[in-house]
Structure 1
Amino acid sequence: MSPWRLRLLIVSLLTVAILGALDHTIVSTSLATVAGELGALAQMGWVVVGYMLASTMLLPVIGKLGDAVGPRGVFLTSLVLFLVASLTCGFAQDMPQLIAARIVQGMSSAGLQLMSQTIVARVTTPRERPRYLAIIGAAFPVAILVGPVLGGLITDYWGWQWVFWINIPFGVGALLLALVAVPRLPGFGRRPFDVAGSVAFAVAMVALVLAVTWVGDPVRAAASVTAFAVTIVALAAFFLIELRAREPLIPLRLFSNPTIAAGAALSAIIGIGLFSITAYLPTYFQMAYRTSATVSGLVPIATVFGMLVSNLATGWLVSRTGHYRIYCIAGPVVSAAGLIVMAALPVGLPLWVPMVVMALVGMGTGAFMSLVIAIVQSAAPARDTGSMTATVNLVRQVGATVATAIIGGVIGFGVAGLLPASLDAATLTPQFVHSASEAVQAAVAGIYRDVFAPVFASLAVAYVAGVIAAVMLPAGRLADEPESAAAPSTEPLNA
């Protein structure tokens, strides 16, 4: 592509990526208002769960479809569906209607995210790819930084419906831009679709999401165990099917390539090591450091900002030099060190201390967050680019989902087990603790510190496993020449 056409394409993909990423974060601050007006507080969680489930389930299917018919059609169709679903969400009259529309939004959002990365892979050389993927990947941390605040402002001044309708004018502009900027990229022909694998994978993902949703509910403890059992059986069936399928949904044969295997492992570490803990950081600092809800949000903001800066920096550096392995090794090392420091920090320090430490954890993660996608794409055959891009994103999302559920259970049961008999875990809120006596505040702070310290240490161990995976990456440089679509190589890395 000519330089100006490539810049136009990146602007188009970035616009769509920001829309998709904001749609996931902007809704969070409006959920209580939505549930109250629609009179369905008990179903509020499914507005998020349905979106997440649909997005996760469709990733491998969309990746395979993009490889077969070409990414442009899948991308534009996903964008149109996203706009229709956004319009429908705002007009929802009850919670089931809203949940159904959010499911469609999740499906289309998966297509937008995945096809954006696949299109970049198809129009750039391996050397150029990290820079452009880092730019598109910046949409996620930006959405985390501004999404909740923007959602709150829109809900307060315009009404919750505009949280969804705000997508329409920007989305239509992005669609018009995409029609011009996104090139027609041929697919690799129709191939037998892995129906059995798709069904097994869908059952596994539905059961997994239900299991992690119910895990903290004592009433549904038995149902959660059953759902986890179904997940294990369905995943086992899925892997057996994939090993025998002529055209598997996820090409497991490619994991014999050490670059792909190590890249997928590093992607999973990102979900397990950082995405899982971010949601619990405000609670930790409200209880252990006795901050307000507003002030407690500064730590995740610092974490995400560090991630954003290093993501863009390493993308630019790798595209300039071609050397990638050092960043994949150094990133997990920095994050592991930061989490070990977090586990050792005593409570009561000035808040800027943990902010700096968590910013380093974010910087370490951002160093290889988008880079691993570029590395795996460069090592995969051209005909499987979409499938492998989907796989890298999938292991990250599944890792974050499972780790988030486990951490939530550890925190819930750990705090409840250590609280003195005079305090009830079910009614222990930051407001109650802040208004309690100094002795109670100190006791609760110590309990939260004792519960979170092993969590931070365990996540540090996950990053150490990431260092081991990164060491397995073959040394070399990303190639300056584009891969041949006609005769793809599983190792397009020049020594």
Structure 2
Amino acid sequence: MTLSPLRLRLLVGSLLVVSFLGALDHTVVSTSIATIGGQLGALEHMSWIMVGYTLAATVMLPVLGKLGDVLGPRRVFVASLVLFILASAVCGFAPSMESLVASRIAQGMSSAGLQLMSQTIVARVTSPRERPRFMAIIGSAFPVAIVVGPLLGGLITDYLSWSWVFWVNVPVGIVALVVALIAVPALPGGAHPRFDIPGAMIFTLSLVALVLAVTWFGEGPIRPQALVCLVIAAIGLLAFVLIERRAAAPILPLPLFRDRTIASCLALSAIIGAGLFAMTSYLPTYFQMAYRTSATVSGVVPIATVLGMLIGNLVTGFLVSRSGRYRLYPILGTILGALGMLGMALLPLGLPLWAPAAVMSVVGVGTGAFMNLIFAVVQSAAPRESLGAVTATTNLVRQIGSTLGTAIIGGIVGFGVAALLPSALDAATLTPQAVHTATEALQDAVAEIYHDVYAPVFAALAAVYALGVVVAAFLPAGRLSDENPTEPAIAPVPATA
């Protein structure tokens, strides 16, 4: 579908605002969790404010992707936005932790729909050549939300109340809804009208079990339950593959994943999740312990990483839209990511904070170079009736990579620090504040321990990015088309592209 330049700008602006709302809702709550848990009298369950949101957003991706293909992305997008506004209002009024978590689950489901349908709508109204530029613009919402969210959440919690962390979504969401109703065109569904209910149910159950398994595995008392969930997830995923091979209208069209372009993009998406997204949540603790910074100053390095990601994302999107050639950027991006992570592993202690900030900004630029580009490429390799499903799967493998990577890194860091700490210190109660008030010798010892534990983690992530270089090299050379066909739109060109 071809839109006028004015309507296209209005559409992209609307999708950017909505994508920012969805991304912000995940980060703005992080600084308010302790306050919310204390006021609702459920500190021991406060992690479910985030876990419930993430779990719902993850498991709903393939279902919403298929619904977008069947019903049309506009209907799913508008319904998701309405649910998001209502759920945000209910969250602010929640009288108990149970009701808040239930509302957060609804928020997570709707947030997945907003993110996924924004990407699908762009794919339906633009040519493959235009797509990287608009994907980069909409994708910039995520890195900006990472920086702005915690700060905004802290300010709202300190000067208003935690309820406003959720209520702020309502007026902005209503404005975005009005604009979306005007700007988003009617986009009919094109997929098989039947819906694979057994496949959707089995897949959702398997993903829930998998996420719970990796979330609980690091907690000793409930590790047996984590192993049970892992077995359930393995059996469920095997059953899902068998169901999808026979389904008339599968929610994940398995034959598409034999395509070299699609398979390579899915692997790159998983590498982003496992390589960078999983690490960012552990960087502040590392710098507070190894570099002895305050909590505020420790955020400088993640901010540098995110700014690099934003620059890489926007520059690459505009360059690919100009030339149509895309293969070089994932290769260069994964090389930068590997070199940056290796640099972090080799950095000695005692350097000023600008040194790791500069190194991690290189990782950010490299990751940003293909973070949203792969969505444009994978969509261009799929038929129109499968755009929602293939976009959902690309998001899904990134989220799973991030979840698994976060659990693995957390387990390694927790075990390594506990094993190396002096007997005078208890890893379960160790805080940056306690270390910063300790003797100089003890501070040096803790800094050395954290450096020694994190260095192999950075080296392993460098290996993950190095694997990404190989995967990116397998991407077929091609040039994105200027037309907007319903069939795959990557035109073969000589291997030098």
How much has 1:207 moved relative to structure 2?
1.0
SS at 1:493's partner residue? strand
Structure 1 partner of 2:348: 346
Instruction: Name the CA distance, whole Å, in 2 between partners of 1:132 and 1:105.
Output: 25
Instruction: Name the CA distance, whole Å, in 2 between partners of 1:419 and 1:205.
Output: 36
- One-letter identity of the residue aligned with 2:323: T
Q: How does 1:40-59 map to 2 (within 5 A)?
A: 40-59=42-61
Please tell me whether residue 283 in structure 1 is matched to residue 281 in structure 2.
Answer: no
Instruction: Name the CA distance, whole Å, in 2 between partners of 1:245 and 1:291.
Output: 55
Structure 2 partner of 1:360: 362
Q: How does 1:3-402 map to 2 (within 5 A)?
A: 3-188=5-190, 190-402=192-404
Instruction: Name the CA distance, whole Å, in 2 between partners of 1:476 and 1:209.
Output: 36
The list of structure 1 runs, each at least 4 consecutive aligned residues, that deviate by more than 6 angstroms after superposition, is none
How much has 1:72 moved relative to structure 2?
0.6
Unaligned regions of 5+ residues in structure 2, if any? Answer: none
Which stretch of the first structure deviates more once superposed, 417-426 or 55-64?
Answer: 417-426
**Are 1:478 and 1:494, in contact at CA under 8 Å, matched by a contact in 2?**
no
**Are 2:191 and 2:385, in contact at CA under 8 Å, matched by a contact in 1?**
no
Percent identity at matched positions?
63
How much has 1:191 moved relative to structure 2?
2.6
CA RMSD of aligned residues (A): 1.0
**Are 1:204 and 1:230, in contact at CA under 8 Å, matched by a contact in 2?**
yes
Aligned residues: 491
How much has 1:190 moved relative to structure 2?
4.6
Instruction: Name the CA distance, whole Å, in 2 between partners of 1:288 and 1:394.
Output: 34
Cα pair distance change 1:431/1:189, threshold 3 Å: closer
How much has 1:213 moved relative to structure 2?
2.0
How much has 1:244 moved relative to structure 2?
2.4
Structure 2 partner of 1:493: 491
**Are 1:479 and 1:494, in contact at CA under 8 Å, matched by a contact in 2?**
no
Deviations 1:3-50 (A, max 9, x none): 111001000100101111111100111111111111111111111111
Which stretch of the first structure deviates more once superposed, 439-448 or 394-403?
Answer: 439-448
SS at 1:477's partner residue? strand
Deviations 1:360-385 (A, max 9, x none): 00100000000000000000011100
Instruction: Name the CA distance, whole Å, in 2 between partners of 1:71 and 1:122.
Output: 9
**Are 1:250 and 1:387, in contact at CA under 8 Å, matched by a contact in 2?**
yes
Please tell me whether residue 438 in structure 1 is matched to residue 440 in structure 2.
Answer: yes
Deviations 1:114-150 (A, max 9, x none): 0000000000000000000000000000000100000
Please tell me whether residue 407 in structure 1 is matched to residue 404 in structure 2.
Answer: no
SS at 2:60's partner residue? helix
Instruction: Name the CA distance, whole Å, in 1 between partners of 2:90 and 2:10.
Output: 30
- One-letter identity of the residue aligned with 2:142: F
Instruction: Name the CA distance, whole Å, in 1 between partners of 2:415 and 2:248.
Output: 46
Cα pair distance change 1:219/1:3, threshold 3 Å: same
Determine which of 456, 459, 462 is the counterpart of 2:458.
456
How much has 1:393 moved relative to structure 2?
0.3
Instruction: Name the CA distance, whole Å, in 2 between partners of 1:459 and 1:233.
Output: 29
SS at 1:12's partner residue? helix
**Are 2:479 and 2:490, in contact at CA under 8 Å, matched by a contact in 1?**
no
TM-score by length of 2: 0.97
- One-letter identity of the residue aligned with 1:163: V
